[in-house]
Structure 1
Amino acid sequence: MLLQSHADEIDLLPSLPEAWPAGSFCGLRARGGFEVDLAWTADGITHAEVRSLLGNPVRIRTPHPVDVAGTHAGRPEECVVSFDTRRGARYRLTAARTGR
């Protein structure tokens, strides 16, 4: 419901129940050596932090477009970002600015 990691992709909030219009979690682990903290409201993800434990590249699917601070993230599909990571680094995701 909150995070899935398969097929070399991390999917954030893939099947969030309507009964949970807002919330957060900390420290969920994803395949590939990642740890995720995330907060959301009825409007979607407000912010997320992805910690790279191993320095692997990452591909993240979200329910709406996000921006990634501190790195050049590719956008291979709508609502998907991918980028290289450094071991021990943290990457902050926020709702994308409108007007793109």
Structure 2
Amino acid sequence: VNLEQFRTLANEHDLWIIEDACHAPGGYFTDSKGQKQHCGNGVYADIGIFSFHPVKHIACGEGGMVTTNDEALYNKLSKLRTHGITKDNMSENHGGWYYE
């Protein structure tokens, strides 16, 4: 998919591009500058997603991966990954037992 053309359209309408790269590791297109743009590299898409499901190319049993070059999106995705639980917002209360 030529994401360069989609990026132009997305910019015109203030939209995100979420690239579904689940069946495309190693896939690429050549942009207007003659450069190979690999799936999930974040040059034209805001977010790239990969699946690790057994029927996909990268099989790890289950799960997936999200790629982005946007630091704000990365920080939000990091919080979503752990349902908002991070060491930054935890307080320790050892009480009668301790579980981390």
State if a TM-score over 0.5 links the two structures.
no
TM-score, normalised with respect to structure 1: 0.30
Where relative contact order (Cα < 8 A, 6+ residues apart) is larger, the structure is: 1
Structure index of larger Rg: 2
